[in-house]
Structure 1
């Protein structure tokens, strides 16, 4: 159907999209913020130039420095690596001594002395007392467990202290770590070779050098040790090798030396004392000066408290009760005796031993104290102040076992001149018993008589010699017993001439007097020299019934850790010298010396004793030697330079010292009678042709010597007169002896 009218628009939406694609709107343009203008540098051109130059220098130094540092580190690393490869196992470094030690035990097996480089055996740092370990760390290296062998903080602190005290930066405090100190103890791995060094002291001095180059080597060695060993192993090496005074190397030896106990048993005060020794072991050793050692230990205790190794109460207790020496260390007993044993023993087991040796000896510490106290009891009271007169004492048993020895007035010594064993002095009248021993052995009686009168002899090459008595008086006819009791000189010379000087020398020598004996008649008056030890041993032969003895001190020698003895005693009773009957009668004669003769000051209350005084020309030497049934003792007095004594004879101060010593020696002991025989008239008939040493000696013309019944006088029994000596000063027995000996 058609429509009419105007045309209507179509029912569609109008096209709204433009024919051409419109361009996108431009993004807003960002405007770049202008930089603030750089402020001009302060200062002028010169200042800016200096700063620029310094900046350049710094960049150059840093560029070179870090490269050089890296090279240095590489070199140090190589050096440390090389040293590392040369280090042995830690156990091989524990004992660094060049020689061994000698520990001396008394007769009861108690330690009384040490010699050599004492080493108590290897100990582990973990096994010693924690107080000792902590004291060492607190004193020597508080950062021990933190550093790698060297401690830059410690070095800086040491330099600061040195500069503040006005020293050079490397003078004084060194800042060495405990590891570095251990490296020094190891001498940086250079072992001691005797052929390469003048002495061990020179070697040790070289090891302690403190030059800058040495410090560098020490640091490298310490770094290598830290890489090779644990801290405990390093500390163990240190504790075993460090010298702690008194001849003790290592903690165990020092602990035994000073406190008589193991290093594992030390309390805080004792641990502090040992740690305190490390800075100056010889000076601070408690055996040298206990007060100084205790003061140093107090400082160590305070350091331990500051570093919390001790509580307040533990530190207070350690300060209130400082460490004390053991009884053996305090006494320093038998120094002269120990030196004598060391010098008389085999060198390779004593003076130059490379082993650790244990020697059991004859020393009796009770008797040793008695000898020292008796000596000082007299000398401290009787000698004038400032006197340099010396004295020596020896006490022994009848078999020659030496029980005590004092070699001088200063008793706590080591290595000092021993006047008991090293001083050869004229014996004076103390030699006379051997003259009368010879006579008694040949059949004389102590009741036989001799005339004490003016008497002269012509000595070939010397002219006339006229001996005199000490009082310059003559006493007429006297018994042999009286002559010995009062120590008359002329009768002794006559008896010696009658029996023969050669035989007197032989008897004395057989009794143990080894020194050269005088050839002339002055032999009878003690013109020969001997030592106190020899003379005391010879008197022991009289006490034991006429047999010789060899004085000895060593009983048994063992190596540490072994049960079998390497050697035994080297002395004791030897061959018979005179008959027992002669020895017993001689003992009776010598008992008269003490009872009522020149040795009366030696008399012991309630106890029999026998002895003989001796005073040499111009009183340069004064002796008293004697014995009881239990012990023999000898005393000598004199000056080391042979200056004459003033107002001293053998019957004076020496006899008093002998009395004081033997009173103390026999304290608490029952009184035992002397083995002696008192002669009774009639004097025994002596057969023709007496014997000595298994040989017959017959008087001139076949005449023997015989005593008679004697007559009672105010001097006692008198026997037959002693035959007068021949004009040629040799008795008939001497002539026979010469023929027998081929002389």
Structure 2
């Protein structure tokens, strides 16, 4: 059978294979490129392979050690932070960290003029203080304060870089500390002051400020614990309450009151910037030390506040154009010596060692204090040779002993300096003579009693022969007591002292307040004993008030801050009578002649009566003038601290001029009052005196009588 012309049916296997080999529609794609044959792997150098294996092994080892050490460190830090956290006290207990309290001193009118001790104005909160102060502190001390967790790695790295670039060690100089770390340091990492462990508070503070590596680590741990325990505002509040801001002020409130006389909540931008600037160097940048330097620093901080968005450009320029200035009390800087004296003479547990905040009202008159300081400066600027190391002191008081002004040296802005008005015991010279004549008047002698001025000697056991001389080495024969005092004659003073008895003279001087050991020999009358200017001025106040003793005082009221009732009152005043009033008033008249036409004529005032006495010690090592008007008693001392003799200076010279300049300013604009003195009535001349005057060709009879009574200018 023939198959020609017929189509053969496909085999099943062929059909299967045909389908499997059939090209899909994707065949229309571009033909695929030919695959390159993989080159056979190059055999690695066995040495290189060896070292690579070592490197991989080291890296694995480092990683193995690193994460384990990190884990251990994290565990240790965590445990340490936890321990510190558990020991941290409550927030309220950390706000006031003073070891002592503060003392605020008010003048007689109730105005603040000085501060002493660790002043603390009261607790403040970061949310209560002026926003400008809060922002200024953050901008200056720690701009990432609200973003970090207590420590700032970026800040530390920046500080290390700056230190190294400036040639210091990595941890020397800039510390990169956050506000939290600074607060930890202020808290001394929780270690409280222990007298048995540290020599004093200064040593304790120095130990707290150490910058060693171990200390830095502890500080960081403490800061981390604080961040866990307290809020950011709590930490900032602690910092604002504890930071030292110069001039004895601890905390923002104390500093605000100290420099600006206002609360920390009322500070404007320029004032806030000035306070924030003190945190870096509170002593050097204190506005009471150098206002211009403090203002310049504040201008920089205002710029930082602008750069960090706390102030607009307009606000920054306005604040820089109107820099902060000191309050009237802070600017005055008056009465430093007076304040030191009140602190030293007041009760120790309320002044030097107080743990409370104390308010002391005093007798200081700022107008009179300013007058004394200006007078002293004027004389030294115009009448003392440039470069002279001579010193001077002034005390002004009322007749009851209330001290109105005190200058303890030429530099009137110091605090805690040597006070020549209260601490320098110097020989008094002829300024002691009024107590000799006070004794004579008390015993019944009068101003016109006569004593002979002539060569005079005594044999003193153990010292040999002693022969005093007058200043000019001349003798005047018979002289009245008033003339002997007016001319400050030495021989009559010694004779009067010997006649009335040295013991009585010492008794009168001691009664008037000369509380030092008085000389035993006849030189007692010439001021061989030592005394302070304050004591001598107080003794002269006793003469002015009619013969009663005086205890100089400066404190009138002491109370604790917050109390309405005072804890104590006046600490001095008029005491017992020393001589009779009539004797005191006669002595005042005699002393008025010293100024009217005697050795103290340079102290004369043009509009009111003055009484006083000069004093110059051997070799002019000390020069004094003490005197009074009806209103005030003022004492002036001048000399060298090392007892070098003064050149060409006596009590009637520069000290009298300082006295004159002081009292001229003190009495400016005040009413005139007469001295409380007995004014002797002219006595009728005897026939013999009339005959002598006629022989001398004397003029007017009344004039001659007055000349005989009061003496002439010699």
- Could you state the TM-score of these two structures normalised by the residue count of structure 1? 0.87
CA drift at 1:305: 1.2
Give the whole-Å Cα distance in 2 for the aligned partners of 1:185 and 1:51.
53
In the aligned structure 2, how far is the partner of 1:290 from the partner of 1:297? 10
- Output one character per residue of 1:427-450: Cα deviation in whole Å (capped at 9) or x when no partner: 011111111111111111111111
Aligned equivalents of 1:42, 1:523: Cα separation in 2: 118
- Residues of 1 paired with 2:39 and 2:230: CA distance? 60
How much does 1:71 deviate? 2.3
Is the CA contact (8 Å cut-off) linking 1:331 and 1:412 kept in structure 2?
A: no
Kindly report which structure 2 residues correspond to 1:186-225, keeping only aligned pairs within 5 A, or say none.
186-225=187-226
Q: Is the 8 A contact 1:257 1:329 kept in 2?
A: yes
- Partner of 1:290 in structure 2? 291
Deviation at 1:207, TM superposition (A): 0.9
Q: Which runs of 5+ in 2 are unaligned?
A: 1-11, 23-33, 685-702
CA contact (8 A) 2:439 2:505 kept: yes
Distance 1:102 1:43 in 2: 86
Name the structure 1 match of 2:423. 422
For residues 364 and 60 of structure 2, the distance between their equivalents in structure 1, rounded to whole angstroms, comes to: 79
Counterpart for residue 588 of structure 1: 589
- Structure 1 residue 160, shift from structure 2 partner: 2.7
* Equivalence for 1:599: 600
8 A Cα contact 2:683 2:705, kept in partner: no
For the 8 Å contact 2:623–2:637, the answer to whether it is kept is yes
Give secondary structure in 2 for the equivalent of 1:717.
Answer: helix
Residues 1:185 and 2:198 are matched in the alignment: no
Kindly state the Cα deviation for residue 22 of structure 1 after the two structures are TM-superposed.
Answer: 13
- Report deviation, 1:42: 11
| Structure 1 match to 2:700 | none
Q: Which residue of 2 aligns with 1:716?
A: 708
Moved more, 587-596 or 52-61: 52-61
Task: Return the alpha-carbon distance in structure 1 between the equivalents of residues 447 and 21 of structure 2.
Answer: 151
Matched residues in 2 for 1:108 and 1:439: separation?
Answer: 41
Gap change, CA 1:440 and 1:262, over 3 Å in 2: same
Do the aligned partners of 1:432 and 1:492 also contact (CA within 8 Å) in 2? yes
In the TM superposition, residue 201 of structure 1 has moved relative to its aligned partner by 1.1
* C-alpha contact 2:682 2:705 (8 A) present in aligned 1: no
Match for residue 668 of structure 2?
667
Preserved CA contact (<8 Å) 2:85 2:229:
yes
Q: Matches of 2:43 and 2:655 in 1, distance apart?
A: 100
Determine if the alignment matches structure 1 residue 405 to structure 2 residue 406: yes
User: d(CA) in 1 for partners of 2:36 and 2:477?
Assistant: 141
CA contact 2:425–2:531 (8 Å) conserved in 1: yes
Please state how far the C-alpha of 1:168 moved relative to its aligned partner. Answer: 3.3
How far apart, in 2, do the equivalents of 1:525 and 1:27 lie?
A: 148
Name the counterpart of 2:9: none
CA contact 1:260–1:326 (8 Å) conserved in 2 = yes
Sort the Cα spacing of 1:51 and 1:35 in 2 relative to 1 into closer, same or farther, 3 A: farther
Q: Matched residue pairs, number?
A: 674
Cα distance in structure 2, aligned partners of 1:487 and 1:41:
123
Give SS of 1:583's match.
helix
Cα deviations by residue, 1:528-560 (Å, 9 ceiling, x for unpaired): 110000000000001111110100011111111
CA 1:29–1:231 in 2, change beyond 3 Å: closer, same or farther?
A: farther
Matched, 1:128 2:129: yes
Structure 1: tracts of 5 or more residues without a match: 1-19, 684-710, 720-743
Q: Work out the CA distance in 1 between the residues paired with 2:113 and 2:45.
A: 86
Cα pair 1:546 1:579 within 8 Å, conserved: yes
Distance 1:28 1:303 in 2: 81
1:609 aligns with 2:610: yes
- Output the CA distance in 2 between the equivalents of 1:567 and 1:368: 25
Aligned to 1:318: 319
Aligned residue for 2:679?
678
In the TM superposition, residue 27 of structure 1 has moved relative to its aligned partner by: 8.7
Cα 1:116–1:493 change in 2 (3 A) is same
Q: Where does 1:721-740 land on structure 2 (aligned, <5 Å)?
A: none
> Per-residue CA shift, 1:697-716, capped at 9, x if unaligned?
xxxxxxxxxxxxxx977852
Aligned residue for 1:125, secondary structure, equals coil
Cα shift at 1:157: 2.1
| Conservation of the 8 A alpha-carbon contact between 1:479 and 1:718 | no
| 8 Å CA contact 1:478, 1:718 repeated in 2 | no
Instruction: Give the aligned partner of residue 556 of structure 1.
Output: 557
After alignment, is 39-48 or 212-221 more displaced?
Answer: 39-48
Q: Where does residue 85 of structure 1 map in the other structure?
A: 86
Give the match for residue 169 of structure 1.
170
Against the structure 1 CA distance between its residues 614 and 42, is the aligned structure 2 distance closer, same or farther, given a 3 Å change threshold?
farther
Q: Any idea what SS the aligned residue of 1:282 has?
A: coil
What CA distance in whole angstroms lies between the structure 2 residues aligned with 1:268 and 1:45? Answer: 73
Q: How far apart, in 1, do the equivalents of 2:43 and 2:223 lie?
A: 51
* Structure-2-length-normalised TM-score: 0.90
Distance 1:35 1:565, change over 3 A: farther
- Give the direction of change, closer, same or farther, for the CA distance of 1:151–1:491 in structure 2 (3 Å limit): same
Counterpart position of 2:476: 475
**Secondary structure of the equivalent of 1:567?**
coil
Deviation for aligned residue 1:562 = 1.4
Q: Is the 8 A contact 1:447 1:679 kept in 2?
A: no
Distance in 1 (CA, whole Å) between partners of 2:82 and 2:509 is 72
**Counterpart Cα distance in 2 of 1:60 and 1:573:** 90
- Distance in 2 (CA, whole Å) between partners of 1:277 and 1:36 is 78
Q: How far off its partner does 1:169 sit?
A: 2.9
Matched position secondary structure for 1:284: coil
Is the alpha carbon distance of 1:450 and 1:189 closer, same or farther for their aligned partners in structure 2, counting shifts above 3 Å? Answer: same
1:40-79 aligned at under 5 Å gives the runs: 46-79=47-80
* Partners of 1:39 and 1:667 in 2: CA distance: 115
C-alpha distance in 2, partners of 1:718/1:275? 69
| Alpha-carbon distance between aligned partners in 1 of 2:386 and 2:312, rounded to the nearest angstrom | 51
Q: Which whole-Å deviations, capped at 9, do the CAs of 1:348-407 have from their partners, x for residues lacking one? A: 111111111111111111100000001111111111111100000000000000000000
In structure 2, the residue matched to 1:246 is 247
Say whether the 8 Å CA contact 2:432–2:527 is kept in structure 1: yes
Name the structure 2 match of 1:259. 260
**C-alpha distance in 1 between matches for 2:131 and 2:160:** 31
Q: Could you tell me which residue of structure 2 aligns to residue 697 of structure 1?
A: none
Q: How well do the aligned residues superpose, as a CA RMSD in angstroms?
A: 2.6
**CA shift at 1:418, angstroms?**
0.4
Q: Provide closer, same or farther for how the CA distance between residues 40 and 639 of structure 1 changes in structure 2, counting only shifts above 3 A.
A: farther
Residue number in structure 2 paired with 1:693: none
5 Å matches for 1:234-633? 234-633=235-634
Cα distance change on mapping 1:292 and 1:28 into 2, 3 Å: farther
Query: Distance between the aligned counterparts of 2:36 and 2:566, measured in 1?
Result: 100
2:682 and 2:706 in contact (8 A); partners too: no
- Measured in 2, the distance between the counterparts of 1:433 and 1:117 equals 45
CA change 1:247–1:36 in 2 (3 A) is: farther
Three-state SS of the structure 2 residue aligned to 1:196 is: coil
CA distance in 2, matches of 1:233, 1:502: 70
Contact 1:449–1:718 under 8 Å retained in 2: no
Residues 1:482 and 1:211: Cα distance change in structure 2 (over 3 Å) = same
CA deviations 1:277-318 (Å, max 9, x no partner) are: 111112221222222222222221111111111111221122
Which digits, 9 at most, give the CA deviation of each residue in 1:546-593, with x for residues without a partner?
110100011111111112212111100000111111111111111111
